[in-house]
Structure 1
């Protein structure tokens, strides 16, 4: 496992982190989660050097956080430098993902709501301080609102939180730039993958200038970049992918994945290429694939030891950028 510096917070973090939505279960999430398998996968990730774990209260309504809390209790500190780093997220009070231009911060992140969910997360995780507390949606129009600024400063002063982050709305990497200029944000979590390359346009440059860490989420585009989806793929009732992979999106995603597989050299699978593409960008501090089984953990973490992609292949992969509008598919 290779490690990268997590922006101005200075943490050495594994470049392959662990996204914990998939093992959290719960209504509106990913079906097929199994606690026994999930706990085995978490322990294997630590054994292989993963030290960055990203969760959220909404992932199973606290269940994912409690699984991570169990890991923290069981292993203490990771064998990797710096120990385990824990990132979690405050859900929007109005329970709307994503937020919209009409969303008011007083309805989404009022002070009492922020404090309530910090307390909930501390209890679920079994820790006295959260390494990285993230807002789970964001509107850049909120940048200069004094209430959230006052609360995060107070949480830091109390020693309850070390770093503050924002999880940017899907397909809106621009919707945080003014907020980054406040100096209060230490990390940005953004969708960045072979299809979604738009963070490179503006966001990454601002993060580099301000020494803000970048967490790359959704490296496999919710599954299409694993190369396992077909035009006939279906999911059980209650699985959120039913709303994401509407027929038009499923057809387009499979077609584009097939085009990507056609340009890969022998011995390089699409999931490996997807992760290596992300890691080719030095602005990325860590990428957080969802990993629900031991084979997922081993395959994804092994990517960290792979050599850099050939520059010619990297250029070819860049041509597969797919710019989508927020209203194009269901959120």
Structure 2
């Protein structure tokens, strides 16, 4: 495993992290504690130290699985990132909750679910600019840092071209940007990444395998049933993406190199990117993702 400094947080994160949206049950598989333990144990074995989750991956369900695991392990071995701003109702249904008072309630619920006294990185979760530009919210969060409940703040931008929230990061004490970035979606390179580099912000690239389309497992015409969030994607857009993936595999991926590993390493080649946070459904996928570090140049 290789490690990089997460911007001005000075946290030293593994370049491959563990994305955990899937633990909430919206990616075609229901998880139990045993499955989660096996995934996290494999990650630790391979040198991964970064877990990314959220309050709305299930109703704190993903966090609860992680917290149960952490209660039986060393907390200091992990850098835990979670998010705030949404209330989960049922599969694929959420409402926004960004008021300062409500966010503190979410924070306390996340701390309880994660079975921890502090969160390493607490991220504003894909909210609109109108609620981002709320001084009361950020001053309230700064008080939680002073109280020791949060170590660092970050922003998970909903649009991967949201320059407004990125540019305002230093002003609101947000030190990390999480953004969709992958070989099929390079939009952050134009404006967001230069802003991050100017401000010394850490960057977490989410969806680095383009919702699995860059895993190399799916061909044009692939079908996803209604238990999988991908069934909500526009069918024509999915078909075109998978056609492009076939072309990328043919023209860009070196012979004998696993496409998923190549796609993760591709994201990490950009100087702004600190780490990628791919999802994984089993220990074998964790191992495959972790091996992408072998393709990453040292900095």
Normalised by the size of structure 2, how large is the TM-score?
0.91
User: Where do 5+ consecutive residues of structure 1 fail to align?
Assistant: 310-331
Aligned-pair distance for 1:66? 1.1
Q: Secondary structure of the equivalent of 1:186?
A: strand
Find the counterpart in structure 2 of residue 222 from structure 1.
211
Mapped to 1, the partners of 2:163 and 2:135 lie a distance apart of 21
2:175 alignment partner, one of 186, 189, 192? 186
1:15 has 2:15 as partner: yes
Find the counterpart in structure 2 of residue 37 from structure 1.
35
Mapped to 1, the partners of 2:291 and 2:2 lie a distance apart of 10
Q: How many residues end up aligned between the 2 structures? A: 294
Find the counterpart in structure 1 of residue 279 from structure 2.
290
Aligned-pair distance for 1:163? 0.7
Q: CA RMSD in A?
A: 2.3
Q: Cα deviations across residues 203-256 of structure 1 (Å, max 9, x unaligned)?
A: 112112211110000011111111222233222323211112x22112111110
Aligned-pair distance for 1:70? 2.0
Aligned-pair distance for 1:183? 4.5
Find the counterpart in structure 1 of residue 187 from structure 2.
198
Find the counterpart in structure 1 of residue 56 from structure 2.
58
1:172 alignment partner, one of 161, 173, 177? 161
Aligned-pair distance for 1:181? 4.1
Mapped to 2, the partners of 1:77 and 1:267 lie a distance apart of 38
Q: Secondary structure of the equivalent of 1:68?
A: helix
Normalised by the size of structure 1, how large is the TM-score?
0.83
Mapped to 2, the partners of 1:254 and 1:285 lie a distance apart of 27
Mapped to 2, the partners of 1:144 and 1:137 lie a distance apart of 13
Q: How does 1:127-276 map to 2 (within 5 A)?
A: 127-244=116-233, 246-263=234-251, 264-276=253-265
For residues 31 and 178 of structure 1, do their structure 2 counterparts lie closer, same or farther at Cα, with a shift above 3 Å needed? Answer: same
Mapped to 2, the partners of 1:306 and 1:120 lie a distance apart of 39
Aligned-pair distance for 1:7? 1.0
User: Where do 5+ consecutive residues of structure 2 fail to align?
Assistant: none
1:92 alignment partner, one of 74, 86, 89? 86
Aligned-pair distance for 1:175? 4.4
Contact 1:139 1:175 in 2 (8 A): no
